[in-house]
Chain A
Amino acid sequence: MTQFQEQFEALLNYWPDEDSTLRQLRIKAFNKFKDLGLPSKKWEDWQFTDFSSLEKTDYRLPWADSLPTLPSIIPGRIPNTHLILMFNGHYQPQLSDIPKGVTISTGFDHFKSNPDLYAINGDLNPFFALNTSMMNLGISIIIDANNIIEKPIQVIYVMTNLSDPLMNHPRFIFQVGKNAEATIVEHYSGSSDTSYFINPVTQVILETNAVLNHIRIQEESSTASHTASTHYTIGREGRLNSVSVSSGSKLFRHDVKLAFKSKGGYASLNGLSLTEKDQHHDQHVLLEHASDVCQSHQLFKYILSDKSSGVFNGKVIVREKTKQTDADQSNKNLLLSPTALMNSNPQLEIYAEDVKCTHGSTTGQIDPEALFYLRTRGIGIHKAMELIIGGFSKDIIDKINNEDVKSYINKKVTDWLEGAVQHG
């Protein structure tokens, strides 16, 4: 805990002239973080994940001096997209390209006009509190009302060539105005032998009749720890399609919350997690239906090899008197090795009558019948495994609406599978 205290004080000293409301919020949030502490195995929602490594490393915040030379090729760049680039925790406006109809604000201008959105209140997630206390980069992307942004906006957050262990607490706001439509790719990418810690909070707001495709890609270095919170708020008849593909980080925890604020909302939440070696991926989804005629569909899949492990915990709550709720949740997992481990816990809490809800979870290995079938057609065992595992992941990738983004993900998944099958 001492390194967090030191870094927090250093941050207050670094920005002595910061807006006083923001400063008060930081102090409140840090006190909350200190009260809560890092999650322990005794906390029900955190019991399968060990966070003690975060305390064992002296992570420090990046200051202005820690920016290395920018690479000539931006890693993970997807063609035909607008770019918003952050490099080792620093926004790069000179390389970013902001389309018409989109307003970007940085440096916490957004906070000044929307302080309520940043309140920490009763949230019991210490990483959310930690982010709020030390948020060292704030970017808000506002899609102005009635605008349809044709090309996806790729928000790349790169960590590379670190000389010492850095931590970052970026804060993103993605707000899609009334009748507006956009695709935002939130992309974390890393290549560093030195360990680092990324703790982003992303708040996504869909206003009335807004449409958002939110693609989240997490391909941090295997030396990284990535703890993230994504909070979705869906307005009247807003439509969200979210696909999260995660293959990076030694330790990955993602808390997703979604609330429908008015009637007629639609949300499709999908996740694909690929783990190998001693990686651990832990995803929690808390989805609340408190408005009428809302639909939510969740599909989360994990493919685990070697000694890696995964956790999926999904809870759907349907509040009292909510009408015509349609909610389903499915978690399917494929274990590629006898030492891989998966904990799955889908839950429904229904306090209303007018609902259609289903949930389910399956964990298994590659179907030996399918493998034999492909081999009898002359397809070698490795290629056959790749086909079967690729087939398992296909329905998630198919939810991606944009062909360039889809082909980027397809390539990543195929490359990962080749590696996993060869050494697995």
Chain B
Amino acid sequence: MLEIKNLHAGVNGKEILKGINLSVKPGELHAIMGRNGSGKSTLANVITGRDNHEVTSGSVTYNGADLLDMTPEDRALRGIFMSFQYPVVIPGVNNTYFLRAALNSKLKHNGLKEINVADFMRLIREKLKLVNMDEKYLSRAVNDGFSGGEKKRNEILQMLTLEPELSILDETDSGLDIDALKIVAEGVNNFRNSSRSFVAITHYQRLLDHMKPDFIHALIDGKIVKSGGINLAHKLEEKGYSWLEA
């Protein structure tokens, strides 16, 4: 599904990713762990197509197509989603209107009929329950006046509504208390199936305790230095990263 080969990329001429190799197959959940500045968010940004990121060599393909040439919206329409580390406030843009516009954009791309307001409201009310969000968030502007935890739940709400094939979860656990963390993890777990894949980027093991990843990758200075199962996450939590540094 997602194939990353020898990826070198950076920002403003500074190389941050120094040869990433990663293969994500349908149904898999990969966790990428690393310290601040190791390149975790850069990797998420390169996959989703943020403007100011320059790829100097290597390739990223998605279902065989070259991802790096695509606009962020094309990537999204092909099934890639990112839950933002810092979800953006968009003043004056109604959350429900935004979500429906996003869903309709996807339906249209897939040659399907756009969803009308009534059907969408039925759909979104069901999804709200899954992330334990109050209906009042529907009438607010996107992320406007949302607490940190509410913003993260709003990200998961979007994921559940848009039903992407590949979800990048960028520090989805940061800023969440234990209850919110459980809700978010449960939202993801219930959404998992044999065709949906996930890349969860995190500092800590605690999100992974609730999510059961298939693979853990330790990212140090722009390279995946070790990959393994959940035991690797426990070891990183216990020992830190220095034992992996040469």
Q: Does B244 contact A (CB under 8 A)?
A: no
| A387 surroundings in chain B (CB, below 8 A) | 90, 93, 98, 101
Q: How far is the CA of A209 from the CA of B48 in the complex (A)?
A: 57
Q: How far is the CA of A14 from the CA of B73 in the complex (A)?
A: 65
**Contact of B93 with A368 in the complex, beta carbons under 8 Å:** no
Q: Which of B65-120 contact A (CB under 8 A)?
A: 71-73, 75-77, 81-82, 84, 87-93, 98, 101-102, 105-106, 109
| A369 surroundings in chain B (CB, below 8 A) | 88
Name which residue of chain B comes closest to A393, CB basis. B92
Name which residue of chain B comes closest to A373, CB basis. B88
Number of interface residues of A (CB under 8 A): 24
- Min distance, Cβ A372 to any Cβ of chain B, angstroms: 6
Q: Which of A353-392 contact B (CB under 8 A)?
A: 367-370, 372-381, 383-384, 387-388, 390-392
- Min distance, Cβ B120 to any Cβ of chain A, angstroms: 15
**Contact of A380 with B93 in the complex, beta carbons under 8 Å:** no
CB < 8 Å: which of B51, B81, B91 contacts A391?
A: B91
CB < 8 Å: which of A367, A377, A391, A393 contacts B76?
A: A377
**Contact of B72 with A376 in the complex, beta carbons under 8 Å:** yes
**Contact of B98 with A374 in the complex, beta carbons under 8 Å:** yes
Given the known inter-chain contacts A368-B51, A375-B71, please indicate yes or no for A390 contacting B106, CB distance below 8 A: no
| A390 surroundings in chain B (CB, below 8 A) | 92-93
- Min distance, Cβ B92 to any Cβ of chain A, angstroms: 3
Q: Does B202 contact A (CB under 8 A)?
A: no
CB < 8 Å: which of B48, B50, B77, B90 contacts A370?
A: B90
Q: Does A394 contact B (CB under 8 A)?
A: yes
Q: Does A395 contact B (CB under 8 A)?
A: yes
| A376 surroundings in chain B (CB, below 8 A) | 48-49, 72-73, 75-76, 81-82, 84
**Contact of A378 with B51 in the complex, beta carbons under 8 Å:** no
Q: How far is the CA of A387 from the CA of B94 in the complex (A)?
A: 9
Q: How far is the CA of A394 from the CA of B90 in the complex (A)?
A: 12
Given the known inter-chain contacts A374-B90, A374-B98, A375-B76, please indicate yes or no for A383 contacting B105, CB distance below 8 A: yes
Q: Which of B147-184 contact A (CB under 8 A)?
A: 158, 162
- Min distance, Cβ A395 to any Cβ of chain B, angstroms: 6
**Contact of A392 with B77 in the complex, beta carbons under 8 Å:** no
CB < 8 Å: which of A367, A378, A392, A395 contacts B73?
A: A378
Q: How far is the CA of A392 from the CA of B89 in the complex (A)?
A: 12
Q: How far is the CA of A384 from the CA of B142 in the complex (A)?
A: 13
**Contact of A372 with B101 in the complex, beta carbons under 8 Å:** no
**Contact of A372 with B90 in the complex, beta carbons under 8 Å:** no
**Contact of A378 with B109 in the complex, beta carbons under 8 Å:** yes
- Report 26 cross-chain contacts, Cβ distance below 8 Å, ordered by A residue: A367-B90, A372-B72, A373-B90, A376-B75, A376-B81, A376-B82, A376-B84, A377-B81, A377-B98, A377-B162, A378-B73, A378-B109, A379-B105, A380-B73, A381-B73, A383-B101, A387-B93, A388-B90, A390-B92, A391-B91, A391-B93, A393-B92, A394-B91, A394-B92, A394-B93, A395-B92
| Nearest 10 A/B pairs, CB to CB | A391-B92, A394-B92, A378-B76, A391-B93, A377-B102, A375-B72, A373-B88, A378-B105, A375-B73, A378-B77
